[in-house]
Amino acid sequence: MRKTVLSGIQPSGKLHLGNYFGAMRQHIEMQAEHDAFYFMANYHTLTSLQNGPELRQNTIDVVLDYLALGLDPTKCTFFAQSDVPQVTELAWILGTLCPVSLMEKGVAYKDKVANGLAANIGLFTYPILQAADILIYNSDIVPVGADQKQNIEFSRDLAQKLNFTYEKELLKIPEPHIVESVAIVPGVDGRKMSKSYGNTILIFDEGKALKEKVMKIVTDATPLEDPKNPDTCNVFALIKLFASTEKKEEIAAKYRAGGYGYGHAKKELLGMITEYFAEAREKRHQLEQNPDFVMDVLKEGGEKARKRAEEVMQPIREALGLIRTHYAG
């Protein structure tokens, strides 16, 4: 039996290798196995980006990236979060049942504020909107990294609270799918690749821009002629994402033998990235010339998502006693 899987990605900037290997690749692989709902979380992005033209372009760029990389809108529901008004409707309802103390336990909120994001109410109640995202489509599976497990638990708590309060099974209780095998992708400075650190290599970087970033990857000062440890090298950590098992073993052996410098490794990595994304890069260039197609994909995905969301919301409104004389879907 096919299950409903849900995941979203924030259009807060151009997507990078960490986004691809951390989430996007898994999304594309799962689209044929499940009833998949994938969305651009543009409401969530408002907690950190208040620039209308930039957010709009970022959202379109995310769509282009996914389509170029192989996401098939005929095999999944692919849409913008803001195209489904039922999401914010459910978020408000869940907020009326959510104790303040539950949000105060939010680890992600504390981490983001500690890293410089403004402590706004949207950021504080982020898990409530995320819960609505998950619950509004009757999601069975929510693939997340271990750092997002708490927010899935919040979703489960709020769904159970609504069901208990109104003595009906109004919302399905989702199961987290912790993705243990997600690679930690190092940025050019050695820290985890992240837009907030400014250390990213973009998925569709090419030419001079790509070469400059690869050559900036931080390494130690081991001389060229000396043996090196591939397991502690940021360049090799990225090579492992692209190379076959045989190629990884070959390059690791060169590291350990000596006479193989970090410059050699960076040139190999540069070639691997260029080749790996070559077909997708060409497809993205073609898609950029057809903006109507991109908007049609979002329109059709939004219609499918609203239909599912309305099926979930109508019984909730009836149970809560919310009078609605019409619905403009």
Residues 312-321 pLDDT 10s: 999 999 999 9
Predicted confidence (pLDDT) at residue 281 exceeds the cutoff of 90: yes
Is 234 within the bounds of a domain? yes
Q: How many residues does the chain have?
A: 329
Do 50 and 142 reside in the same domain of the chain?
A: yes
Segment 181-208 shows an average pLDDT of: 90
Do 180 and 209 reside in the same domain of the chain?
A: no
Residues 217-236 pLDDT 10s: 999 999 999 999 999 999 99
Q: Which residues pair with 144 in a beta bridge?
A: 178
Q: Which residues pair with 39 in a beta bridge?
A: 8, 79
Do 82 and 110 reside in the same domain of the chain?
A: yes
Do 101 and 222 reside in the same domain of the chain?
A: no
CB contact at 8 A, 246 and 178: no
Do 180 and 258 reside in the same domain of the chain?
A: no
Task: Kindly write down the DSSP assignment for every residue of 108-142, as one continuous string.
Answer: HHHHHHHTT----HHHHTHHHHHHHHHHTTT-SEE
H helix intervals, 216-244: 234-242
Residue 112 annotated to the active site: yes
Confidence class of residue 150 from pLDDT cuts 50, 70 and 90? confident
Mean pLDDT (the chain) is 92
Q: What is the pLDDT of residue 250?
A: 97
* More confident site: 303 or 26: 303
Q: What is the CATH number of the domain that holds 141?
A: 3.40.50.620
Is 261 within the bounds of a domain? yes
Is 329 within the bounds of a domain? no
Residue 266 annotated to the active site: no
Predicted confidence (pLDDT) at residue 181 exceeds the cutoff of 70: no
Do 38 and 135 reside in the same domain of the chain?
A: yes
For 54-123, strand residue ranges (E) read 76-80
Q: For residue 26, which amino acid is it? A: Q
Ordered strands of the 76-80 beta sheet = 76-80, 35-40, 4-9, 141-144, 175-178
Residue 164: how many CB atoms within 10 A of its CB?
Answer: 10
**What is the C-alpha to C-alpha distance for residues 138 and 312, in angstroms, rounded to an integer?**
7
Is 150 within the bounds of a domain? yes
Do 108 and 221 reside in the same domain of the chain?
A: no
Do 73 and 111 reside in the same domain of the chain?
A: yes
Between vectors from CA 287 to CA 303 and to CA 44, what angle results, nearest 5°?
A: 50
List the one residue out of 69, 79, 74 whose CA is nearest residue 37: 79
Please pick, among 149, 161, 192, 283, the residue that the annotation labels catalytic. 192
Confidence class of residue 201 from pLDDT cuts 50, 70 and 90? very high
Segment 131-147 shows an average pLDDT of: 87
Do 135 and 230 reside in the same domain of the chain?
A: no
Segment 137-160 shows an average pLDDT of: 85
Q: Which two tokens stand for residue 146?
A: 């271990």
Q: What is the CATH number of the domain that holds 257?
A: 1.10.240.10
Residue ranges making up the domain that contains 210: 205-276
Q: What is the pLDDT of residue 102?
A: 86
Residue 195 annotated to the active site: yes
Please pick, among 112, 228, 266, 304, the residue that the annotation labels catalytic. 112
Do 173 and 211 reside in the same domain of the chain?
A: no
pLDDT > 70 in the chain, percent: 96
Least trusted range by pLDDT, from 111-115, 126-130, 248-252, 322-326: 111-115
Do 302 and 256 reside in the same domain of the chain?
A: no
Is 19 within the bounds of a domain? yes
pLDDT > 90 in the chain, percent: 77
**What is the C-alpha to C-alpha distance for residues 91 and 48, in angstroms, rounded to an integer?**
19
CB contact at 8 A, 170 and 320: no
Domain count, the chain: 2
Q: What is the pLDDT of residue 318?
A: 96
Residue 169: how many CB atoms within 10 A of its CB?
Answer: 11
Is 306 within the bounds of a domain? yes
Is 176 within the bounds of a domain? yes
**What is the C-alpha to C-alpha distance for residues 94 and 320, in angstroms, rounded to an integer?**
12
Segment 255-284 shows an average pLDDT of: 97
Segment 302-328 shows an average pLDDT of: 92
List the one residue out of 92, 53, 67, 62 whose CA is nearest residue 80: 62
Distances (CA, A) of 174 to 3, 4, 36, 154, 325: 11, 10, 14, 11, 31
Segment 265-292 shows an average pLDDT of: 97
Long-range CB contact pairs, 285-294, < 8 A, 24+: 287/64, 287/67, 287/68, 288/64, 291/60, 294/60, 294/63, 294/64, 294/67
Q: What is the pLDDT of residue 329?
A: 56
Please pick, among 195, 228, 266, 304, the residue that the annotation labels catalytic. 195
Residues 15-37 pLDDT 10s: 999 999 988 998 999 898 899 99
Do 94 and 227 reside in the same domain of the chain?
A: no
Between vectors from CA 139 to CA 319 and to CA 129, what angle results, nearest 5°?
A: 70
What is the model's pTM? 0.90
Is 197 within the bounds of a domain? no
**What is the C-alpha to C-alpha distance for residues 9 and 324, in angstroms, rounded to an integer?**
32
Confidence class of residue 109 from pLDDT cuts 50, 70 and 90? confident
Q: What is the pLDDT of residue 104?
A: 84
